Amino acid sequence: MIDELIARAREFAEQELRPVALAYDESEAFPRDELRRAAELGLTCYDLPEEYGGGGVTGLGDSIRVLEELTWGDSPIALVITQGGFFAWPVLALGTEEQKRRWLPALCGPEPPAVAVAITEPGAGSDAAAITTAAERVDGGYVLNGHKTFIGEAHIAERAVVFATVAPGTGARGITAFVVEHGDEGFRRGERLPKLGSRCFPAGELHFENCFVADDRRLGDEGRGFSGLMWVFDRARVQLAANSLGIGRAALEHAVAHAKEREAFGRPIADYQAVSFRLVDAKLKLDQARLLARHAARLCDDGQRFSTEAAMAKLAASEAAMFATWAACQTLGGSGYIRDSPAQKWLRDAKLDEIWDGTSDIMRLIVARNLFR
Ligand SMILES: Cc1cc2nc3c(=O)[nH]c(=O)nc-3n(C[C@H](O)[C@H](O)[C@H](O)COP(=O)(O)OP(=O)(O)OC[C@H]3O[C@@H](n4cnc5c(N)ncnc54)[C@H](O)[C@@H]3O)c2cc1C
């Protein structure tokens, strides 16, 4: 079954994502048709449990193989297609059965809603425990006040998982997750932010001004949000490793094909070791990172701790993708720098994975903590 799903993802990526990727990069339009088509093919919610309408591919090892195929087709469209899964994770980690039945099936339907997961704030990114969006306890629920930024799909989100603190100044101990819906009084979707890459996967801001959320919108107990967030981050980092690998593999294949065809000084440039060794290094880095990602996923699927391995996989894969996309641009010469070349787009898209869900410095920090414990 998983092999059939991977083949379906590859065919969809090749036939329906690759041909439109550059046009979406230019227009920055939201890829609604591709999202709808992916839903039809069971590619939006393949990794959600069957009881909520998902495809039941709940093993991370299988899930990242599907994702790498999609991102090989186009990373930002793949991010849109899989955003529902990102929203679902905190609900699965922290939510009650009633909450899961309330919010997950819609993600698996024919028209998946735009959704968001909001942690980052203007004053707190890497240090997620320092968020200041406050959730003040009132009769029957909470009142949220604060501001989130750099949030995927923020300006169109129908609902968002929002991390806030019920005890400002206490760091991780007060962090609690809530589901906020478009239309809730005091909840405002803000501006879309222009970006370097991943341009059709929009990011923007969310504002909370005396926004009341009832008790049944709280995910998990008060103060449980941070551990839920770490649960989500570990999985998301392995997923992002797969995202990087898809981009890097696409760039490498493109560069190899070009190097075999393009001639300089009377022979194909692939004959020059300066060119071929650069692409060998790219392949080496990508394949090493893939092994790390699979190892992290296997530990996760075996129920073992895998935070350090997830950080290593994300770090290695995002840096491998940066190298591979740089190597592809270099190999293409001037033609890789022109906007109708996918190489320049892949370079811009790959950069995001060195930043979000924890920068490369933060990934090194996680590994160092384990190394020197
Ligand atoms: C397109 C995009 C989409 C995003 N989507 C989401 C989303 O959906 N939801 C969400 O919540 N967030 C999202 N983010 C935010 C992202 O996760 C943060 O940008 C990221 O965690 C880094 O935080 P920051 O930008 O505040 O950088 P900062 O934390 O200000 O870091 C700045 C620099 O300082 C370094 N640094 C910080 N602390 C240390 C340290 N202790 N040791 C060494 N170096 C350090 C960092 O590595 C970095 O180089 C998104 C970001 C982007 C760009």
Greatest Cα-to-Cα distance within the chain, rounded to the nearest angstrom: 79
Q: Do residues 129 and 123 touch, judged by C-beta distance below 8 A?
A: no
Structure tokens at 320: 């491998």
> How far is it, in rounded angstroms, from Cα 291 to Cα 295?
6
Average pLDDT, the chain: 98
The position carrying tokens 């929002």 is 162
The position carrying tokens 């996309």 is 325
Single-letter residue type at 33? D
> How far is it, in rounded angstroms, from Cα 199 to Cα 27?
8
pLDDT tier for residue 1 given thresholds of 50, 70 and 90 = confident
pLDDT at 16 over 90: yes
pLDDT tens digits, one per residue of 250-280 = 999 999 999 999 999 999 999 999 999 999 9
> How far is it, in rounded angstroms, from Cα 83 to Cα 361?
25
**Which domains are assigned to the chain?**
2-108 (1.10.540.10), 115-222 (2.40.110.10), 226-371 (1.20.140.10)
Cα Rg of the chain (Å, integer): 21
Whole-number Å distance, alpha carbon 71 to ligand 1 midpoint, is 22
For the segment 84-108, the average pLDDT, to the nearest whole number, is 98
DSSP-derived letter for residue 33 is H
pLDDT at 22 over 90: yes
pTM: 0.98
DSSP-derived letter for residue 140 is T
Whole-number Å distance, alpha carbon 192 to ligand 1 midpoint, is 17
pLDDT at 47 over 90: yes
pLDDT tens digits, one per residue of 324-362 = 999 999 999 999 999 999 999 999 999 999 999 999 999
The Cα-based distances of 329 to 21, 30, 145, 197, 325 in angstroms read: 17, 26, 45, 15, 6
pLDDT tens digits, one per residue of 291-331 = 999 999 999 999 999 999 999 999 999 999 999 999 999 99
> How far is it, in rounded angstroms, from Cα 350 to Cα 355?
10
Pocket test for ligand 1, best of 120, 159, 319 (most atoms within 8 A of CB): 120
Structure tokens at 340: 């109708």
pLDDT at 57 over 90: yes
Residues with CB under 6 A from ligand 1: 116-120, 125-126, 150-152, 195, 198, 203, 352, 355-359, 361-362, 365
The position carrying tokens 């997830």 is 310
> Strand, helix or coil at 59?
coil
